[in-house]
Chain A
Amino acid sequence: MPEVLIKDVSFAYDKELILGGINLEVEAGDFVCLLGQSGCGKSTLLRLLAGLETTKQGEILVKGQPITKPGYDRIMVFQDYGLFPWMSAGENITIALKQKFKKMSKSELKARASEWMRNVGLDPEIIYDKLPMEISGGQRQRCATARAFAMDSPIMLMDEPFGALDAVTKALLQDTVLSLWERGGEHGRKTVFFVTHEVDEALLLATDIFIFGQSPSKIIFKHSFKGQAKPKRETMFTDPEVMALRNKIIKIINDEVSAKAIRASAHS
């Protein structure tokens, strides 16, 4: 049984159809990148997976069960607003942990939060008691990542988590996420759904890439790295196969954007 099965899912906001029949099968431990231009509905699919929206058409099954509400078995990392600004960085992690690990004492929660802060490259001695506004954007996203991994949820939903960061910080965080995912948790590797509009980010992180078309959204291209070596940061721009794939993906996205523009002008 696939870990996540998305069967013919459509979704509309008011009367505007956002997702028009999405089908996906994802195995446990896959790192799925949902790639596409802004407004193509990839974040909407993530919200459906999180249980923040419900669909009337089609169904989404996790381990064979339909999603009915949000829950920490599908932890989410937001682009912004991932941390509550009135709580310290450490408290932001422990408040999530204590919902799941109800029997843990305060000191155990703090120890786990600190350990995961260290795992994502933060020094808890310095960062733990700081408010989100007192630390940098990169540190905030590290903290949100630490929170997500510390929850040890089998599924992680990441909605352009590094979209607002500078290139260097972004690269460091991508490496952190990738190594933590590769290392795995108590129950093996986590299944990750990672929304991005950057082709290189998808190539670097994903085991499976799904490209979303627009208006209404559907999957127009799939690529899996399973059974072959994943691109590496050091070699991906010199590897002819990866570059060919990269160019192909960029062309598919560009063609889709042009086609949408033509459709739009034909309607107007």
Chain B
Amino acid sequence: MLKVLKNYLGIILIFIGIVAGYILLTDVWHVLDPFLFPSLSKVLPLFVEYSPKLLEGFQSSMILLLSGFSLSLIGGISIGVLIGLRSRLRKNLTPYINAFSAIPVTLLTPYAINIFPSFRVASIFIIFLGCFWIILGTTISAVMTIDKRYLENAAIIEMGSVERLFRIILPAASPTILVGCTIALKMAFVLLAVAEMFGATSGMGYFIQYYSDFARFDLVMVGFIFIAIVLVILMYLFDCAKAKILYWTINN
């Protein structure tokens, strides 16, 4: 217990600092507008009261988020590897990738709603597309920049193409690919709020949006804190997975 506490001491101290700062700025010095920044003594009890709604929102958001993110993971990595390995394909596609990825995903909402059969699928598409460009881009550069000597070493022992992909190319590219995945996962959270504006009747982003419309900033704060907790836990789990994949890197 003491060891765990020592390990996380820095994190705990910063957390206490942030909470103390908020209390000072709201309850003690009254610097912040209490309407937009309600006191924690008001906000915290609301957590209990609204927990069923928050959990329902969590469930609904996770379906959107994980579907969109998983699809982008599969699509981004497989297409990225293909493009990364073939210089001619890369040369021909790069201008189009640059052009399409430059369009802000949020602006595509009307098209997504029109094209897809349901609001839910349209929402998943928005999250997918936002993450896809990030993962695609990093995977292409990750595969392109693999040290050629690994590939030469594989060629010398006449390694087959499937084994080369799974045993050499993907592991060698994984440090960079995973950087892209981390950014994409955070991006997924940002896009979740956009997607839930039209594609949901519950959700973490929807919760904030809904109560913001009614100027219930105490509940907006509840939503912010909840979404932050979920993000921290999800990123922690993601980091654990990352550490498992990158067990062989020096900095791990």
Contacts and interface: CB of A to CB of B under 8 A. Distances in A.
B149 interface: yes
A96 interface: yes
Contact of A70 (B150, B152, B160, B171): B152
Contact of B153 (A51, A69, A82, A131): A82
Sorting the interface of chain A by its residue count into under 10, 10 to 19, 20 to 34 or 35 or more gives 20 to 34
Contact of A75 (B149, B150, B156, B167): B156
A85 B248 contact: yes
A220 to B, nearest CB: 29
A261 interface: no
A72 B159 CA distance: 10
A95 B150 contact: no
Contact of B157 (A52, A95, A131, A133): A95
A100 B156 CA distance: 11
Contacts of B155: 51-52, 69-70
A77 to B, nearest CB: 10
B156 A76 contact: yes
A81 B157 contact: no
Nearest to A83: B153
B156 A70 contact: yes
A81 B153 contact: yes
Provide the main secondary structure of the chain A interface: loop
Sorting the interface of chain B by its residue count into under 10, 10 to 19, 20 to 34 or 35 or more gives 10 to 19
B250 interface: yes
B153 A72 contact: no
Interface string B167-208: 110011000000000000000000000000000000000000
A86 B171 CA distance: 7
Contacts of B152: 50, 52, 70
A84 interface: yes
B158 interface: yes
Contact of B167 (A50, A78, A95, A100): A95
Contact of B156 (A50, A86, A131): A50
Given A81-B153, A131-B248, A99 B171 contact: no
A200 interface: no
B239 interface: no
Interface string B118-158: 00000000000000000000000000000101101101111
A84 B174 CA distance: 13
A45 to B, nearest CB: 16
A81 B152 CA distance: 10
Interface in A50-104: 50-52, 69-72, 74-76, 78, 80-82, 84-87, 95-96, 99-100
A167 B60 CA distance: 64
Contacts of A82: 153
A74 B248 CA distance: 29
Contacts of A86: 171-172, 247-248
Contacts of A50: 152, 156
Contacts of B168: 84
Contacts of B247: 86, 131
A91 B239 CA distance: 26
A72 B156 contact: yes
A193 to B, nearest CB: 14
A87 B147 CA distance: 16
Contacts of A100: 157-158
A80 B148 CA distance: 12
Contact of A80 (B149, B159, B167, B249): B149
A131 to B, nearest CB: 5
A172 B125 CA distance: 61
Interface of B: 147, 149-150, 152-153, 155-160, 167-168, 171-172, 247-250
Q: Which 3 A-B pairs have the closest CB atoms?
A: A81-B149, A86-B248, A70-B155
Given A72-B157, A75-B156, A85-B248, 6 more contacts: A52-B156, A70-B158, A71-B158, A80-B149, A131-B248, A133-B250
